[in-house]
Amino acid sequence: DTGVSQNPRHKITKRGQNVTFRCDPISEHNRLYWYRQTLGQGPEFLTYFQNEAQLEKSRLLSDRFSAERPKGSFSTLEIQRTEQGDSAMYLCASSPDPRDHYGYTFGSGTRLTVV
């Protein structure tokens, strides 16, 4: 297993279009997290899953955002009716156990540009 994989690496879309990102975590990790990172800022928590259950969503996650993790494996993050303010790096991380922090592994991210 080569770590957390995110696709695509880059996405350019027109305002108003829908986009979907995918995250494949490390296979034995039951926790999966999404963060958003804008230019010059640190990552901000969006949501997390334990297995297939979405247990918390940040207020940053507006109604246009939805995340799923069917069968507790890969996860998707969809943004509907994209806005220019959605332009950011979207990071995924996975963890086998919240107490084992060295297992909290980030992917390389998907960079979204809304034009």
CA dist 106 and 79 (Å) reads 21
Write each residue from 70 to 109 as x if it is in contact with another protein (CB under 8 A), else as -, in one continuous string: ---------------------x-x-x--x--xx-xxxxxx
Q: How many residues does the chain have?
A: 115
- Find the binder of another protein among 7, 22, 30, 45 (CB under 8 A): 45
Residue carrying the six token digits 């918390």: 56
* 29-to-17, 98, 115 alpha-carbon distances in Å: 32, 10, 35
| CA angle in degrees (0–180, nearest 5) for 69-94-96 | 105
Residues 15-34 that bind another protein (CB under 8 A): 31, 33
Cis, bond preceding 8 (omega within 30 deg of 0): yes
- Taking the complex as a whole, the smallest distance from the CB of residue 81 to another protein amounts, in Å, to 26
Give the pair of three-digit tokens for residue 71: 């069968």
- Taking the complex as a whole, the smallest distance from the CB of residue 78 to another protein amounts, in Å, to 21
- Find the binder of another protein among 11, 25, 43, 65 (CB under 8 A): 43
Residues that bind another protein (CB under 8 A): 3-4, 31, 33, 35, 40-45, 48, 55-56, 91, 93, 95, 98, 101-102, 104-109
